[in-house]
Amino acid sequence: MNDSLNLLASGRRSQIAWFAIVLVAVCMSPLAAQSKLDSRRFHYPPTAKQEILDDYHGTRVADPYRWLEDVESDQTSRWVTSQNKLTFDYLAGLPQRTTIRQRLTEVWNFERYGFPVQRKEQFFYTHNNGLQNQSSIYVADGIHAEKRMLLDANGLSQDGTIALAEWKLSDDGSWLAYAIADGGSDWRTWRVRDTRTGRDTADEIRWVKFSEVAWTADNKGFFYSRYDEPSAKQELSGANYFQKLYYHKLGSPQSEDRLVYRRDDFKEWGFRSEVTEDGRFLIISVWRGTENNNQVFYIELTDATWTVRELVAGFDAEYTFLGNDGSLFYFMTDSAAPRRRVIAVDITRSARAAWKEIVPQALETIQSASLFQDQLLLTYLKDACHEVRLFGINGQSRGLLELPGLGTVDGFQGKRSSQQIFYSFTNYITPPTVYRYEISGGESSLWRAPKLPFNAADFTTERIFYESRDGTRIPMIVSSKKGILKDGNNRTLLYGYGGFDISITPNFSPAHLVWMELGGIYAVPNLRGGGEYGRAWHEAGMLDKKQNVFDDYIAAAEHLIAQKYTCSSQLAISGRSNGGLLVGASMTQRPDLFAVALPAVGVMDMLRYHKFTIGWAWVNEFGSSDDARHFAHIYKYSPLHNLREGTCYPATLVTTADRDDRVVPGHSFKFAARLQACQSCNKPALIRIETRAGHGAGTPVSKLIDQAADTWAFVLDNLEK
């Protein structure tokens, strides 16, 4: 559920007009602030209530807005229309919005490149010329040769709401399997294009979700995982269970695909498949929900029966397949190593006592691992920034990969036999720059660097540490324009996530750049629940320890105030998905601490989240209200259920999308309705509902710009001036 914006920026024009909208931030007295708020009134559309009372292990809980869970009903549609009218009329009237949108458009307008994938002498990669809604796939006859379009993603729909979600080339580069996502949904439809002719075949694979494809070495077909076709009314809200693994042969209809593996006795199991580079084995990673434990099964593809064999069973730890030398399989794992290590397992002698440790656990957590030639590239997390260490296949250290500074590294993908691979570096003030790494020489060279319309030297980033409520030391990265005084008067955006073992590392966002150009501070703490310090850090923020995450976030806000970065009346909080839950819980627990709250696509109803789409998969992280022990701690922080009438909450802009089938929009609908009923002061409690969009992935650039313009205009209008 990770939702970080990883987009670039460019354009340095109209600076005089732009900076004319920057206002000096001054913390007002409570009396002055109330005087400002009294000057406006919000008349919210009426929201009907139902007499619904549920019994949770002896505790009776009202659910008056349950009808809003039915996102397909006419009644909900009318509610959405009326709420959007109120919100968009308000946003359209904000004088800052037009100028902000103009600057965002300038910043977003730059070329973006994906990592090249090599097949023989050809290179395939994505490219966006700047303001195109989607990135398209191109091919070139050399890494520096002129590119030509292979697949025009912007031709999939007029408004850009049908996105190219994933793509995978066959081993010989003759075939491109690509997945499209319609209107932001997690459902994928896979098609196949002949790279020699540029034409699609008749192959079409539907009802795929949470699955890539794995081509066989003979280039004749691929493996994939899918769910059964849902009923029409359950497509975007029905629970997803019983994923099945199939093989598709090119040129045949999906109805003839070979069922490879299913487990009717375990409805939660899912299957991620990967064909080894030598073509001998299919590696099946068996996942169960979002827990960071998996099983590893395999098939010997030379055996026509395709018998599934268990290699690592029991969901005892995390195992990521890296490659193989015949029967010797290499894995990154946290088995007996909570900060991860690299091991080798011979499938002919697979008892745990025979496992060989290649790279032992270190003080820092391994974030990712790749195997090329006889070299391991391991990306470590060191206080929430990346460090790449090189090792031989025998585990011998070969030093560090030199990076431009503190930030985030991505890439290192490709065949083990590759002579060159690609990676990117970024941080909060450096857009992703793509480098080429030569395996044999161990040298990096620049491949693509975006041309920027701003001067990175005008901005600064610092890493600080603070103590949470229980004394735990938490890192936080603070970015801003240079020269900002710590006088307690700076507008500040505090972003957070804190969950699912996801590490929040520095990433560039044009929206956040614009925020900093407005004179804002952008602060990102690395909360417990993430993966920044290994398994123990994650587990310290899940299940009955979830309150630690909220405490860490609240402590970050208090530290920023105590250290004179900002004050409560200049502080906005933001988070998406699990981060939306974070914002919802924090604003209900400490409504006095923040001026503005921006919960996006959040999990707000903690008592019913597991009843929709893939929500059941999060029970490992949150717990379930069906369990009396879990209910006791979930109910204490569930944002929907901790809103209290007669309370003055921060100015709130709830955001969601009508086709979000990851965190269904009913969460945000119910929360907004309840917040409007409870709000005791004139701070707005609004909801912005995007249409033809989903949880975030594949959102057209035009919509991203509009969302950011609306958000910053809302924040500026509700911070004290």
Residue 442 shares a structural domain with residue 483: no
Order across the sheet with 308-312: list the strands. Answer: 269-275, 281-288, 294-300, 308-312
Arithmetic mean of pLDDT over the chain: 93
Q: Domain residues for 506?
A: 83-106+454-718
3-state helix, strand, coil in the chain (%, to 5): 25, 35, 45
Cα angle 708, 714, 716; round to 5: 100
Report if residue 638 sits inside a domain: yes
Displacement of CA 366 from its chain's centroid (Å): 19
Please spell the DSSP secondary structure of 391-449, one letter per residue. EETT--EEEEE--SSSSEEEE--S-TT-SEEEEEEEETTEEEEEEEEETTTTEEEEEE-
Per-residue pLDDT tens digits for 25-57? 334 444 344 434 444 679 999 999 999 999 999
Residue 601 shares a structural domain with residue 697: yes
Residue 322: burial class (beta carbons within 10 Å; 0-12, 13-18, 19+): buried
Per-residue pLDDT tens digits for 649-698? 999 999 999 888 899 999 999 999 999 999 999 999 999 999 888 887 88
What is the spatial distance between Cα 78 and Cα 82, in angstroms, rounded to a whole number?
Answer: 6
What is the per-residue pLDDT for 693?
Answer: 83
Report if residue 254 sits inside a domain: no
Report if residue 183 sits inside a domain: no
Kindly state the tokens that stand for 544.
């009955």
What is the spatial distance between Cα 265 and Cα 574, in angstroms, rounded to a whole number?
Answer: 41
Order across the sheet with 258-261: list the strands. Answer: 214-215, 221-226, 244-249, 258-261
Active site annotation includes 252: no
Give me the phi and psi of 401, to 5 degrees please: -85, 120
Report if residue 636 sits inside a domain: yes
Confidence of residue 1 (pLDDT cuts 50, 70, 90): very low
Torsional class of 118: left (φ above 0), alpha (ψ -120 to 50), beta (otherwise)? beta
Report if residue 133 sits inside a domain: no
Report if residue 600 sits inside a domain: yes
What is the per-residue pLDDT for 595?
Answer: 98
What is the spatial distance between Cα 340 and Cα 358, in angstroms, rounded to a whole number?
Answer: 12
Per-residue pLDDT at 15 exceeds 60: no
Per-residue pLDDT at 18 exceeds 70: no
pTM for the whole structure: 0.91
Catalytic residue among 386, 559, 630, 695: 695
Q: How many CB atoms lie within 10 A of CB 41?
A: 7
Return the SS3 of 494: strand
What is the spatial distance between Cα 559 and Cα 466, in angstroms, rounded to a whole number?
Answer: 7
**Range scoring the smallest mean pLDDT among 155-159, 581-585, 714-718:** 155-159
Residue 413 shares a structural domain with residue 561: no
What is the per-residue pLDDT for 265?
Answer: 97
Kindly state the tokens that stand for 456.
């990175």
What is the spatial distance between Cα 463 and Cα 494, in angstroms, rounded to a whole number?
Answer: 14
Percent of the chain exceeding pLDDT 90 equals 89
Average pLDDT rounded to a whole number, residues 346-352:
96
What is the spatial distance between Cα 173 and Cα 195, in angstroms, rounded to a whole number?
Answer: 7
What is the spatial distance between Cα 582 and Cα 91, in angstroms, rounded to a whole number?
Answer: 25
Residue 610 shares a structural domain with residue 653: yes
Burial 42-75 (b: 16+ CB within 10 A, else e): eebeebeeeeeeeeeeeeebebbbbbbbebeeee
Residue 507 shares a structural domain with residue 605: yes
Residue 417 shares a structural domain with residue 465: no
715 Cβ neighbours under 8 A, 6+ residues apart: 491, 493, 572, 596, 598
What is the per-residue pLDDT for 232?
Answer: 84
Mark which of 451, 467, 495 sits at the end of a domain.
Answer: 451
Residue 471 shares a structural domain with residue 520: yes
Mark which of 407, 428, 451 sits at the end of a domain.
Answer: 451
Q: How many domains does the chain fold into?
A: 2
Per-residue pLDDT at 6 exceeds 70: no
- What are the angstrom distances between the C-alpha of 343 and each of 291, 375, 409? 21, 14, 23
Name residue, tokens 């030398």.
325
Per-residue pLDDT tens digits for 194-225? 999 999 999 999 999 999 999 999 999 999 99
Residue 505 shares a structural domain with residue 631: yes
Positions of E strands within 153-300: 162-169, 175-182, 188-194, 199-208, 214-215, 221-226, 244-249, 258-261, 269-275, 281-288, 294-300
Torsional class of 666: left (φ above 0), alpha (ψ -120 to 50), beta (otherwise)? alpha
Report if residue 243 sits inside a domain: no
What is the per-residue pLDDT for 721?
Answer: 64
In the chain, what is the straight-line distance between the N-terminal and C-terminal CA atoms, in Å? Answer: 35
Mark which of 451, 486, 507 sits at the end of a domain.
Answer: 451
CATH number at residue 638: 3.40.50.1820
Strand partners, 166: 179
Cα angle 697, 703, 707; round to 5: 100
Q: Choose among 223, 192, 193: nearest CA to 208.
A: 223
Residue 650 shares a structural domain with residue 563: yes
What's the length of the chain?
Answer: 721
Note whether 104 and 705 are within 8 A (CB): yes
Note whether 445 and 435 are within 8 A (CB): yes
Average pLDDT rounded to a whole number, residues 380-402:
96
Q: How many CB atoms lie within 10 A of CB 496?
A: 29
Q: How many CB atoms lie within 10 A of CB 326?
A: 12
Please spell the DSSP secondary structure of 272-283, one letter per residue. EEEE-TTSSEEE
Per-residue pLDDT at 7 exceeds 50: no
What is the spatial distance between Cα 513 and Cα 645, in angstroms, rounded to a whole number?
Answer: 37
In three state form, how does the secondary structure of 657-721 look?
A: ECCCCCCCCHHHHHHHHHHHHHECCCCCEEEEEECCCCCCCCCCHHHHHHHHHHHHHHHHHHCCC
Per-residue pLDDT at 608 exceeds 70: yes
Displacement of CA 377 from its chain's centroid (Å): 24
Report if residue 29 sits inside a domain: no
- What are the angstrom distances between the C-alpha of 29 and each of 10, 366, 683, 721? 39, 48, 16, 11
Catalytic residue among 368, 577, 624, 638: 577
- Stated as kind and residue range, the H or E segment containing 603 is none
Note whether 352 and 327 are within 8 A (CB): no
What is the per-residue pLDDT for 68?
Answer: 97
Residue 445 shares a structural domain with residue 472: no
What is the per-residue pLDDT for 299?
Answer: 98
Residue 656 one-letter amino acid: T
Average pLDDT rounded to a whole number, residues 415-429:
95
Residue 492 shares a structural domain with residue 523: yes
Note whether 29 and 35 are within 8 A (CB): no
Strand partners, 258: 247
Name residue, tokens 């030093």.
399
Residue 543 shares a structural domain with residue 641: yes
Active site annotation includes 479: no
